[in-house]
Structures are given as C-alpha cells and as structure tokens.
Amino acid sequence: MSRFLKVFLRESLEGKIHLAAFGKHPAWDDHIDDLGLNTESLVLTKKLLYSQGIAGQLARGAWDQIERSGNAIEFNHRFCWSRQNQAIAGAVWASTDRKGRTRFPMIVCGQVGIDGPKAIDLLLRPIDELGVLSRSVKTQNEFRELYNRVHGELYRRTLQPPANQPTFQLTESEQNSILPSLVAISASIRAKQYRVTNGSHFRLISTLSRTRDTLCLWIAYLAAQGLSSSPPFLAITTNGKNWVDLIIGEPVDKDFFCLRANQTALPPTWLSVAETDRAKLESAARSFLEEGRRGQTGLRTQNRSWWASLFGR
C-alpha cells in the first residue's frame, strides 16, 4: 500500500482546523513560502496537486497545445478531497508572481475532521474571502498577516459540526439533467471500473449552477456508494462550467490535465450502463436526490455565522 493510501486524511486532528496556502502571489518573486503545511495530508495535497500535478503538466507541455487552440480554461476551481470523516476543501485561482509569470495558480485549502459535505459548508466561504482579500495585498508581510488572521480564527475555533447534513436544492430540470451522470458513475463503481492506485479520473456532466451544491452533491454521492477499502476521492468544480471532475483513489500527474482543459480538449467520460441495471440505479439516484433535498444523505445550508466575523462584517 502506498504512503498516500495509508495516511491520507487519517491524522488525529484533535478537533482543529488546519489552513494551508501555496502557489503564486505577486508579493513573491517565485512560489509562495509554504504556509500551514502542518499535516501530512496537506503536504501530500501540495505534492500531488501542485508539485507533481500542475508542475508536471507544465513541464511536459501538456497544456501548451490546448492554449494555442483556444481550448484551455483559466484556474478558477473549488475542490473537496474526502475520506470517511475527514476532508480537505479548497480553491485554486489564477495568479502571478512578482515577475509577471502566470502559469502557476494560488491554492488555499483547509483540513478538518468532518465529512466532505460539512467541510465544504464550513470552509469554502472563508477560503473564498481570503482569496478575494489576498488580491489587494502587495507585500509578503501583508499576505502573511491576512493568512494568519484567518488561520488563527479557524484553528482556535471549537469545532462543532452541524447536527444535520447540508442540503442541495435542485429544480426538476436539474435533477433530470444530472441523473444520467449519477447512474453512470454508480454503474462504473459497482462494476469496479476504477483503480484505487494509479488514478481513476472521470469527467461528468453536472449542470448545477451553484459550485457549493455541485461539490456537496458529488462528494455525498461518492460516499454513498460504499467504495471498498474506503479510498480518498476528489471532486473538482470549475466556476461557470457544466462539468465535475472526479478522481477516485491515488491520483497520477495526468489526472490533473483536467484543470486547464475544456470539454473539447477533455470530453466527458463515456460510461456504459447495462439496461438490466439502469432502472434500479436510476431509482436509487432519485432517492439520493430526494434525501439530499431533505438533508438526510450525510448533506443543510449553513447560515452565515462565525466565518463572517473573520472579516469584520
């Protein structure tokens, strides 16, 4: 078993929230001095997502052709890496260094000892606020002060997860449009058409307009599939786009090609569903969506509360 599968999202966090920041920012000549990589899971997140994933794509020129053809998208992602009752939620933004180089993004993410949907509700708003405010700071000290302010508030906070799960509110049209993707990934998992090691990437149509709902829905749905050996799974959404990228198990560098590729460069994954299974899987998916609407999936929209105080609102 690899180190990733053995330890990732399995630390004892003792109820603490850990926030990390890395990548590019105009206050640095090159990469940001790592901030908050205080757990092995956050170190592995940087290694797999940034140092190997993004840097690997750039080193091989994997994104050069799609940039020339107009099929590249900008970094503007939200993600959640989840495993049982622990998760890392975060954001990836297009950024630059002091020298004006734009190829690497800035990434902020937090690790917390609650399941994925609750982590999304807990962390994405303060992380997004940190991302917005970081664009206005000019010096490394200002950036560190901003990061320390948010991280301190999170770290000192007594973790009291919501009693209920987050909900996702879908229109009938949204339910019908996302149903085929839910059925397809269920069929693939049941047929074990995925690899826990060496990466299993899926791109699926997900026409929800709300990033938070998309992440909550897919993380909860993957958790509901009862994956054997409980591998970590990662969901990545791109603001304004109608797809979700899913990685089950240990990712490989090529899995992160998705971060810059539109649907022409990387079409949705084709997954077959046997007709004998379709009706049963569709019924189960509809039940999941109804349970999610009622907040019974291991998914409730959290009211603005503690996180707003981080920014004096």
Q: Look at residue 301 in the predicted model and tell me its pLDDT.
A: 34
Q: 3-state class of 196 per DSSP?
A: coil
Segment 34-50, tens digit of pLDDT: 999 999 999 999 999 99
Would you kindly state where each structural domain of the chain is located, as residue ranges? 1-302
Q: Look at residue 190 in the predicted model and tell me its pLDDT.
A: 85
pLDDT at 164 over 70: no
Q: Look at residue 296 in the predicted model and tell me its pLDDT.
A: 56
Q: Residue 24 has which token pair?
A: 């590019």
67-71, 116-120, 193-197: lowest mean pLDDT where?
A: 193-197
Which band of pLDDT confidence, cut at 50, 70 and 90, is reported for residue 297? low
Which band of pLDDT confidence, cut at 50, 70 and 90, is reported for residue 291? confident
Q: Residue 197 has which token pair?
A: 């090691």
Task: Supply the pTM of this predicted model.
Answer: 0.91
Q: Look at residue 298 in the predicted model and tell me its pLDDT.
A: 47
Segment 197-226, tens digit of pLDDT: 776 899 999 877 788 889 999 999 999 998
Q: 3-state class of 106 per DSSP?
A: strand
pLDDT at 305 over 90: no
Element (H, E) at 148: helix 140-156
Neighbours of 233 (CB within 10 A): 23
Q: Look at residue 272 in the predicted model and tell me its pLDDT.
A: 86
Nearest to 127 by CA among 150, 159, 160, 104: 150
